[in-house]
Amino acid sequence: MNHEKTIENLYEKVKRIDSKGDLASYIPELANVNSESFGVYISTINSSTFGVGNYSDKFSIQSIAKVLSLSLAYRIIGENIWKRVGVEPSGTAFNSLIQLEADKGIPRNPFINAGAIVVADILISNLDNPKEDFLAFVRGISNDSEINYSTDISLSEKSVGFRNVALCNLIKSFGNIENDPSDVLDFYFHLCSLEMNCKQLSELFIFLANDGCSLFEGKEILSQSQSKRVNALMQTCGFYDESGEFAFKVGLPSKSGVGGGIVAIHPKQYTIAVWSPRLNKKGNSYKGIKFLEEFTTKTKLSIF
């Protein structure tokens, strides 16, 4: 790994910055983490790896899981998926209801909650045992049987998930949800509750840096073209209404979650996972963005 010293130096620099932002306390269980945790882990497609800080502490990956559910649904139903969900940045918050009425229940993209709820519905219609089968898919990508849901987190979100209930019902009223909304939401809350650490996260997402193939046995998770498209969606929609600013600062296809994690992909080169739970106003990790901005600036390793 060529950039170990740079990563260490930037880690120390960003760690010292005043902690701005708040925990995602709208999900009560997410307020129980150490707000000063900070970890970074990088994996290259040549299998070199390096981590600093709390990279082996598990956290709730939340919306980062939307990339995995999209990948499985895309793998199963192919291009038909785009009849149910769009590919445009929304320019609105991750949990917004605003555009759905005008767009007649077709969410703008698969990474806002509305889109991920439709993807969850597609998976329920296509899997025999959605929770078990999805978990097996995720574990199989990097041969990591330690990855699991957190029941505490999924129940915690279920107890307060009123906006997601509203989103799912509104979409159902337009006919774009096939299954019972309570089943769809139960599955959605589960997939958002997946827990892993930065090391597991960067190793899991390496297939998106490797034309859709995992490094473990070279398994094809997505075709090259599908992998390109998922990367494009991460680039344009991965940070909701902060996607433009994130691209401007960092320049890598990436996905964030309200647990404070970010995974960034440099196609054909590396993935890097960062975790720092304090979030900015758009619900994205404050220090995670800072670190990635410094990293791609210093190393010149961005796609632009």
Q: Which residues are near ligand GLN by CB under 6 A? A: 62-63, 94-95, 113, 157, 164, 192, 257-258, 283
Residues in the chain: 304
List for the chain the helix, strand, coil content (%; round to 5).
50, 10, 35
The answer to whether 124 and 134 have CB atoms below 8 angstroms apart is: no
Instruction: Tell me the Cα Rg of the chain.
Output: 18
Under 8 Å between Cβ of 234 and 275: no
- Of 1 and 160, the one with the shorter C-beta distance to ligand GLN is 160
Q: CA 300, CA 163: separation in Å to the nearest integer? A: 40
User: DSSP assignment, residue 148?
Assistant: B
Task: Give me the least distance between CB of 14 and ligand GLN, in Å please.
Answer: 21
Shorter beta-carbon distance to ligand GLN: residue 226 or 284: 284
In angstroms, give the least distance from the CB of 60 to ligand GLN.
8
The nearest distance, CB 96 to ligand GLN, in angstroms, is 11
Point out the residue whose Cβ comes nearest to ligand GLN. Answer: 63
Separation between Cα atoms, residue 113 and residue 185, nearest integer Å: 11
Three-state DSSP class for residue 237 = helix
Q: How far, in Å, CA of 262 to CA of 249, rounded? A: 14
Q: How far is the CB of 88 from ligand GLN (least distance, A)?
A: 18
Beta carbon nearer to ligand GLN, 212 or 277:
277
Residue of 34, 60, 43, 86 whose CA lies nearest to 209: 43
d(CA 278, CA 260): 6
In three-state secondary structure terms, 279 is strand
Q: Which is nearer to ligand GLN, 114 or 122 (CB)?
A: 114
In this complex, which beta carbon is closest to ligand GLN, that of residue 8 or of residue 22? Answer: 22
Nearer to ligand GLN, 121 or 211 (CB): 121
Q: For ligand GLN, give the closer residue by CB, 164 or 200.
A: 164
**Minimum CB separation from ligand GLN for residue 302, in Å?**
23
Q: How far is the CB of 55 from ligand GLN (least distance, A)?
A: 20
Distance, in Å, from the CA atom of 38 to the CA atom of 261, rounded to the nearest integer, reads 10
Q: How far is the CB of 95 from ligand GLN (least distance, A)?
A: 5
Q: What SS3 state is found at 40?
A: strand
